[in-house]
Amino acid sequence: MVRPRARAAHGRGFGAQAEVYDEVRPGYPDSAVDLALTDRSDGWEALRVCDLGAGTGILSRQLLSRGADVIAVDPDTAALERNPAPSRVGTAEDTGLESDSVDLVIVAQAWHWFDEAAAAAEIARILAPGGRLLILINQLDVRIDWVLRLSRIMHAGDVYRPQYRPEPGAGLELVGDRLVEFTTALDVDGIVDLARTRSYWLRSNEATRSRVESNLRGYLRDEHPVTGTVDVPYMCLAYLLELK
């Protein structure tokens, strides 16, 4: 079991691979992001949005293109340098934002790095009354055998639990969820680069990294041959919570 402090430290290391991260990590499907607008007539232009754990800005760019008023919060200064949104160095447990200052908090690809109870309390503090939290999780579609094998070789840790629903407390109640299937095209080098953006790679020594790369290239040459690019199957898990 990874202790909370160690988990948080691992979650701050992605800036070291910021450029590669932006190149090979996929964005978020429109239908998953737009779950935030369920049962609301106002559009993105009317929303003050905190992209929490924003990193290099994969989601921030999508929100800005929709016209949202975005503030990006992340503890990793190297990652934030690539984020195009106005930003603040902070954590999920201590954002530094004012109380009741945002209408929507979106956590994309970062919820598992947080101290859930402390993050929920902080999110509830910065949300305006009736505000919402959208959790987005892109993961390899490990329901498919060859993708499951790929995930295990790169130590991605992607596990699909259909029954999972976030229950963080602090008055945040689940009001909707959605699973969106999609693909992203990568060649063998791109898949190796994808492994390089994973926390296992970032915290490993050079010998382990070399072994992972060799195993990946061997698998994609001999067991699941890839020539050119392949559509790598993903799923986006979206969970919408509302402050009651």
Q: Give tens-digit pLDDT for 5-43.
A: 433 444 444 444 577 778 888 999 999 999 999 998 889
> Domains in the chain: how many in total?
1
For the domain that residue 165 is a member of, what is the CATH number? 3.40.50.150
Among residues of the chain, what percentage have pLDDT more than 90?
A: 83
The answer to the question of residue 211 being in a domain is no
Q: Which of 14-28, 113-127, 142-156, 161-175 has the lowest mean pLDDT?
A: 14-28
**C-alpha span between 202 and 198 (Å, rounded):** 6
Domain of residue 119, residue span? 4-141+156-183+233-243
Q: Give tens-digit pLDDT for 84-115.
A: 999 999 999 999 999 999 999 999 999 999 99
What pLDDT score was predicted for residue 199?
A: 86
The answer to the question of residue 213 being in a domain is no
The answer to the question of residue 190 being in a domain is no
- Mean predicted confidence (pLDDT) in 200-219: 95
User: Greater confidence, 13 or 49?
Assistant: 49
- 4 pLDDT higher than 60: no
What pLDDT score was predicted for residue 19?
A: 76
3-state secondary structure the chain: CCCHHHHHHHCCCHHHHHHHHHHHCCCCCHHHHHHHHCCCCCCHHHCEEEEECCCCCHHHHHHHHCCCEEEEEECCHHHHCCCCCCEEECCCCCCCCCCCCEEEEEEECCHHHCCHHHHHHHHHHHEEEEEEEEEEEEEECCCCHHHHHHHHHCCCCCCCCCCCCCCCECCEEEEEEEEEEEEEEEEHHHHHHHHHCCHHHHCCCHHHHHHHHHHHHHHHHHHCCCCCEEEEEEEEEEEEEEEC
> Using only C-alpha atoms, what is the Rg of the chain?
18
The answer to the question of residue 148 being in a domain is no
Q: Give tens-digit pLDDT for 223-233.
A: 999 999 999 99
- 56 pLDDT higher than 80: yes
- Model's pTM, two decimal places? 0.89
The answer to the question of residue 99 being in a domain is yes
The answer to the question of residue 167 being in a domain is yes
What pLDDT score was predicted for residue 21?
A: 72
